[in-house]
Amino acid sequence: MGITFWIAALPLISFLISGLGVFFKVGSLKRKGHYFGLVTVGISLLLSTYLLFEVMGGRVISENWFTWLVSGGLSASFGGYVDSLTAVMLFVVNFVSFFVHLYSIGYMEEDPGYDRFFAYLGLFTFSMLVLVLSPNFLQLFFGWEAVGLSSYLLIGFWFKRKRAADAAIKAFLMNRVGDFLFILGLVSIFWVFGSLEFDQVFSQVSKVSAGVLSLIALLLLGGAVGKSAQFPLHTWLPDAMEGPTPISALIHAATMVAAGVFMVARCWPIYDGSSVLGVVGIIGVITAFGAATVGLTQFDIKRVLAYSTLSQLGYMFAALGVGAYVFAMFHLFTHAFFKALLFLGSGSVIHAMDGEQDIRKMGGLFKYMKVTGTTFIIGSLALVGIPPFAGFFSKDKIILSTYANGYLLWWLFLTLGALLTALYMGRLIFLVFFGEERFGQRERKHLHESPAVMTVPLIVLSVPSIFAGFLEGWFTEFLGRSVPNHLREVSHSTELSLVFITVSLALLGLIVAALFYYWRKLSPEVITENPLVKPLYTVVYNKYYFDEIYYYLFVRGVGFRVGRISAFVDKYVIDGIVNCVALFSKYFGEVLRLSQTGVVNAYALYFALGLVLVITIIWLV
């Protein structure tokens, strides 16, 4: 087995050891799950870094691990394919996962499911690594479903809480909708191309009509929309906050929601040959702007960050929609660091506040938590896109690409999205870390800076959140070996003007947020109670009523009707058939029983009559 096998297998080994220890209640393994996780993911990170440098040197690594089955024209094998796209993803997944493991030692310290948590972390990391290492669609689908299973286990980790259990089921079911379309896409690929291997499929794309490619691209997009929580399958991701905060960091930064963006980038030959890219971009723009508006109205610290993830993923899909595949992946790359930092920072706040997540009950925390506060501000500035932080470079390139390629309406909404991002992140910073203290005595007694095992990952993640953007030139050239960037040229003055507009709006958003929530010169309550604004605010606060619409359409609507039909079929069709068979057997048996008299003379008569009947039939024939 080659190096790619061990990169994926090591986290799986952690899962097996920790999981078996929990299942068989091995006392010697109790509360030691973090050791296996840190060692295995740490080695996997080192191997991924080695491969990154190897690929930077010009290598493309392809390894076959084993053949699962060969049937007709289908050859199902598992292996590792590492080009520049995969090399970047391997590093990001393992880097974030390692520090999430380290952070979780402190965050989950008192949780009774400590070892089970680290087992699930190993499974989650393994699943994403298998996905990004895929040389074919079959292995991609295996990793695709495995990250779905892992997310279900981790979102519902505290399964005794109804909200957590419901959130896990919701995520699982909504992803099934997308995955059903994804499966149809894979079947269509095999039907059209006769193979599921990436190289064989992509080499034949030019021989297939745009209509067929568009159908395949739409079906694959359905899977990406579900996995990356894009409109209209986006509602599961905010509810996924019911899981432990380190899992939120892993899901939002480097694993599950990144899978959809990675898949579209990997399948760029299909999307370039189709007419579906516009649909990808429209979905992204709607999600980016819509989620940003909702983020302004939420009060749960993790939900605000969840909607920011939805919005930033929308930017990535918008970049994919204009063919700027490299810039989409560049934003995924930088976003992984500062979003992991923000979620782990929110976890540090929640940990210090004894579980409190409502930002209206916080305030003035910076003087108690300087490390958490400083790193959280760094992550926020990176997310907002303030230079020279990482998010500025990647988000700016996406906005520029929409303008350069002639999508002016998309550019307008994404630019306004930058303003909204600054507003809700400024609101978050000022309400949590500055201003008056709004927490009670219980929280005050518990308030403290998090231990080093939690703050060290924050400090480490803040470094790429500041400096990763400066890798833009290298990243564009390096990733350009695997995926293209369809970008029209614009003049330098135009580019500077667009950057000036975006940065100015971001700074304006921070200033307005300070006026509302720090200097208190403006009152959000007065504005939201205005008769003209209140109806709009109510709609946005209720997340555009998507959950309610889906409930009445599919739970109370289709689901209720399907339930009634199923009950009718079960009672009157299935049970009816079974009962009829039973009644027929019963009455037929009753008739036959009459012939069983036990009298020899009666049996002789039956025999004689039967014989006469047979002779008569033969004679007539």
38-85 pLDDT, tens digit per residue, is 999 999 999 999 999 999 999 999 999 998 877 777 777 899 999 999
Of the listed ranges 392-396, 506-510, 522-526, the one predicted with least confidence:
522-526
* Nearest of 99, 53, 503, 84 to residue 330 by alpha carbon: 84
Rounded average pLDDT over 295-310 = 95
On average, the pLDDT of the chain sits at 92
Structure confidence at residue 557 (pLDDT): 65
- Stronger pLDDT, 444 or 466, i.e. the higher one: 466
Calpha distance 151→148 (Å, rounded): 5
pLDDT at 456 over 70: yes
Calpha distance 215→209 (Å, rounded): 10
61 SS3 class: strand
pLDDT at 401 over 80: yes
Rounded average pLDDT over 430-449 = 87
pLDDT at 594 over 70: no
Structure confidence at residue 54 (pLDDT): 96
Q: How confident is the model at residue 601 (pLDDT cuts 50, 70, 90)?
A: confident
Beta bridge partners of 70: 75
Calpha distance 264→252 (Å, rounded): 18
Question: Does the predicted model carry a pTM greater than 0.75?
Answer: yes
Q: CA separation (Å) from 86 to 53, 132, 481?
A: 12, 6, 11
Rounded average pLDDT over 515-534 = 91
- Stronger pLDDT, 120 or 552, i.e. the higher one: 120
- For the chain, domain boundaries: 288-541, 545-620
Residue 478 token pair: 């390096």
Rounded average pLDDT over 260-279 = 96
Q: How confident is the model at residue 558 (pLDDT cuts 50, 70, 90)?
A: low
Neighbouring CB atoms inside 10 A of 458's CB total 26
Structure confidence at residue 564 (pLDDT): 67
pLDDT at 377 over 70: yes
Under a CB-based contact definition with an 8 Å cutoff, are residues 481 and 84 in contact? yes
Rounded average pLDDT over 210-224 = 96
Calpha distance 404→490 (Å, rounded): 6
Residue 310 token pair: 């939805």
Chain-centroid distance of CA 499 in Å reads 30
Q: How confident is the model at residue 417 (pLDDT cuts 50, 70, 90)?
A: very high
Q: CA separation (Å) from 53 to 50, 56, 188, 472, 478?
A: 5, 5, 36, 17, 11
The backbone region for 31, taken as left when phi is positive above 0, alpha when psi lies in -120 to 50, beta otherwise, is: left
Q: How confident is the model at residue 441 (pLDDT cuts 50, 70, 90)?
A: confident
Structure confidence at residue 376 (pLDDT): 97
Calpha distance 331→279 (Å, rounded): 20
* Nearest of 566, 357, 388, 408 to residue 466 by alpha carbon: 388
pLDDT digits (tens, 9 = 90+) for 113-145: 999 999 999 999 999 999 999 999 999 999 999
Structure confidence at residue 519 (pLDDT): 93
64 SS3 class: strand
Place of tokens 């799986």: 12
pLDDT at 559 over 60: no
Give the DSSP H or E segment for 63: strand 61-71
Query: How many residues are given for the chain?
Result: 621
